[in-house]
Amino acid sequence: MTALYFQFMDWILSSYLKLKVYFSSQLSIGTELKLFSLQALATIFLAAPKALSDVSLFITLTFLLIGIILQICAAKLTRKAITHESFLKKRLECSFENRKGKPEDENAEYFRSEIRDCLIAILEQLNFRYSPLHRIRAYLPRETTQNREFSIVAYFTDNSDLERTRTGDYPDEGVLANAWRNGTCEVSNLSDFKENESLWKNEQKSKGHLVSDKSVDAINFKARQYFSIVIRDPQDESKMGVITIESMLPKSINVKQASRIIEMQFAWYIGKCLKEFKNYAPEPKFAAERGF
């Protein structure tokens, strides 16, 4: 039985390594995350033989069962990620073909709409799609002669008081700017604005990385948690924009889950759409009067 056990362990580990090599050559984003459960599986199987002499056959078989279940789940998740990415690639190819010869304003609005659809899908997977307490936005940086500003490209919330077109630039400060510099940024457990407005405002600067009172006063969504993540160009990995999820609850956003959903399923497509939007979007000085 012990010999059979070690033979099975060897097969599982070799299968894992082959799958990892294969998927690394097939996928362009999030490979390590997609195969995380398989890596955990290999770790379990490597650790189990050391304890074999001290545990019963029942526990050994339980390890085997858990490993098989993890392998099946990992295979399903990886297949889903591959299918999703393939779908988005085909969708983008069709978009490029259909946008040829169209007016620039129309093309910019099209890619803005595509990004918004992705934002809605992200909230859907986080179970915030119909929550008036959550909001998600995508930003593009805009370099000026003096500093950097961030412009909203797309947004979504189920809050009817806030779901309207908002234009304007945001200063290079706060969670948004911090994520741009470091890749991600999360702030949570802020005070409730309705219970203590003064404390909430102070925390926006002490915890939320805002600098000026003007920036704090301009906030219309009184969030208690923020999570921002950089979106990169899938071709050269350069930074393209930032996605920010906000919540009026103190800690409702699962940061690991949100990162995994964005990076595994949507980052590639949003990055391409941000790049295309930037190519078609009007100059800043004309943007407001043209609805951007």
Q: Identity (one letter) of the amino acid at 290?
A: R
Residues 264 and 120 in one domain: yes
For the segment 188-246, what is each residue's pLDDT rounded down to a tens digit? Answer: 999 999 999 999 999 999 999 898 888 899 898 999 999 999 999 988 889 999 999 99
* pLDDT at residue 169, rounded to an integer: 79
- Percent composition of the chain: helix, strand, coil (DSSP 3-state, to 5): 60, 15, 25
Does the structure show a pLDDT above 70 at 110? yes
To the question of pTM greater than 0.75 for the whole model, the response is no
Domain count of the chain?
2
| Domain region containing 222 | 105-290
Pair (55, 122) in one structural domain: no
Q: Best-predicted range by mean pLDDT among 33-42, 55-64, 127-136, 212-221?
A: 127-136
Note whether 217 and 205 are within 8 A (CB): no
Decide if 227 is inside a domain: yes
82/220: higher pLDDT? 220
Q: How confident is the model at residue 262, as a pLDDT?
A: 94
Nearest to 129 by CA among 117, 139, 141, 114: 117
d(CA 121, CA 213): 34
In a domain, 274, yes or no: yes
- The confidence score (pLDDT) of residue 159 equals 83
The CATH number for 191's domain is 3.30.450.40
Residue 254's CB: how many other CB atoms inside 10 A?
13
The SS3 call for residue 177 is helix
The pLDDT confidence band at residue 47, using thresholds 50, 70 and 90, is low
Is 94 a domain residue?
no
Is the same domain home to 63 and 135?
no
Pair 67, 174 in one domain: no
DSSP three-state, residue 170: strand
